[in-house]
Amino acid sequence: MGKAKGKNVELVALQCSECDRRNYTTYKNKRNVQEKLEFSKYCKFDRKHTLHREAKIK
């Protein structure tokens, strides 16, 4: 299991902007980063690099 995180850190999913699948998860410090995370990451369903945006984990 992962390390214990503080109460300001939450687990978020990264959702592909093209196929709308949640391919990655990461941690986000809510105190330091207020805006939504955006990364260019590889989508194995589209087989190319696409923009992945932050989404809540259900």
Q: pLDDT digits over 34-55, tens only?
A: 999 999 999 999 999 999 999 9
On whether residue 30 sits in a domain, the answer given is yes
Task: Show Cβ contacts of residue 45 under 8 Å, excluding neighbours closer than 6 positions.
Answer: 16, 19, 21, 23
CATH number at residue 49: 2.20.28.120
Question: Residue 28 is part of which domain span?
Answer: 9-55
Q: pLDDT digits over 20-34, tens only?
A: 999 999 999 999 999
Whole-model pTM? Answer: 0.83
As a whole number of Å, the end-to-end CA separation of the chain is 19
Confidence of residue 2 (pLDDT cuts 50, 70, 90): low
Burial state string for 16-25 with b = 16 or more CB within 10 A and e = fewer than 16: beeeeeebee
The residue ranking higher by pLDDT, 50 or 1, is 50
What CA–CA distance (Å, rounded) separates 26 from 46?
21
